[in-house]
Amino acid sequence: MLFFKLSWESFRFAIAALKTSLTRTILSLLGVTIGIFAIIAVFTLVDSLENNIKSSFSFLGTNVMRVDRFPYANGPQDYPWWKYFRRPPGTVAEYEFLQQRLTSAEAVTIAASANTTVKAGSNAYQGMALTGAVYSYQDVYELSIEEGRYFTPSEINASRNLAIIGREIANTLYPQQEALGKPIKIRGMKFTVIGIFEEEGEGLFGGGSKDEACLIPYGAFTKMYYTGRNGLEPVIAVKGMEEDIGLVALENEMTGLLRAKRGLKPRDENNFALNKTEFIQNAIGSVFDVISIAGWVIGGFSILVGGFGIANIMFVSVRERTNIIGIQKSLGAKNYFILFQFLFESICLSLIGGITGIIIVYFLTFIQLGTLEIVLSISNIVLGLGVSTIIGVVSGIVPATLAARMDPVEAIRTT
């Protein structure tokens, strides 16, 4: 009860101080408001942009390792692309070899892709992302089928001319009717639609969306395209165990098996690259970490100015209420009571500035920036309130301490 009484009385003092010199208070709180706005706005934009970019690469899967010729990790400087270019691509034989022998993987798949045009009657869709895949493709990559079904193992093994298409393709080819079960033509070959992917919407970079994709059996794909060294290169992808943090065990096992399959000697360099899809997300996260630091620096200066403004208000408030402090002490008020009054007032003033900044950021989330969806997260709200509270404590601790240590007799004499 004592805590609530002290809080309520301190709150009343804070409101009274605000009303006494409203213009001075608003100008002083402007620094905190701008500082919190700058920090939270930058963090909100960074988080929203990072989430949108990562979702654009969601088609690569999570906890997945790919067998490629070119590694992801190396930068543009001293990148020996000519050496990587001579490396052999993955093969179906290697896929079957890994599938039979890997013990650190949940699933192994192989797929090849190409951009082409799909037709249905007089309608056509250009730029479709066509992928030929095996049955285990659904175990490595997340596939959300809204209508219809996935391929059966027998359909994959028989290379049946069946297709799963994206929603945008379905609406383009069959705008007035249901596309499920209807025929489509790809490079002159007739396919039957057995499934439609769940609509995803356009990604931040306009690519990787299942709305523009078509999935067919791998055998049917090889009837239309030559795959291999001088054709379209298939990609072997392996999904690791959840408990394999960093895919360390999977990487070591895959390295040994691929070296054995390709007949590499102990001193021979690997002629393949094992790329983790998380590398792209980690690289994106590193870039946005730098941007976040810049946000702290930009907002930090404004908060520093706002902190000095609040400290100035508190020093003035202590001087104006010196006589009242003396009376309170003469009536038995303890030092911590006086300290708590002014400290609470400082925190209250800082929180008002912080909340105002957060409210401004919230209204900015309603602005549409193309396909970028801006979301003010709970964590950023808590961060803004936390920083405001800390600024209030730091700015008010010295004036509050001076007020608490005043001599009651000298304070009462002050006019």
* DSSP type of residue 179: -
Task: Give the contacts of 255 (CB within 8 A, at least 6 positions apart).
Answer: 270, 274
- Other CB atoms within 10 Å distance of the CB of residue 284: 16
> What is the percent of the chain where pLDDT is above 90?
27
* Residues 9-51 pLDDT 10s: 666 766 676 677 677 677 777 777 888 888 888 888 877 777 7
Confidence of residue 165 (pLDDT cuts 50, 70, 90): very high
- Comparing 212 with 337, which gets the higher pLDDT? 212
Per-residue pLDDT at 303: 77
Cα 253 to Cα 43, 65, 102, 172: the distances in Å are 40, 12, 7, 45
- Comparing 15 with 180, which gets the higher pLDDT? 180
Q: Comparing C-alpha atoms, which of 11, 45, 64 is closest to residue 251? A: 64
* Residues 320-377 pLDDT 10s: 777 877 877 777 777 777 777 778 778 888 888 889 889 998 888 887 776 667 888 8
∠ CA 176-194-200, nearest 5°, is 70
Per-residue pLDDT at 35: 80
- Comparing 330 with 414, which gets the higher pLDDT? 330
Residue 388 backbone class (left: φ over 0; alpha: ψ -120 to 50; beta: rest): alpha
∠ CA 135-138-143, nearest 5°, is 140
Cα–Cα distance measured from residue 101 to residue 238, given in angstroms and rounded to the nearest whole number: 12
Cα–Cα distance measured from residue 270 to residue 263, given in angstroms and rounded to the nearest whole number: 11
> Exposure of 71 by Cβ count < 10 A (0-12 exposed, 13-18 middle, 19+ buried)?
middle
Per-residue pLDDT at 194: 95
Rounded to 10 degrees, the C-alpha dihedral 157/162/164/166 comes to: 140
pTM higher than the cut 0.85? no
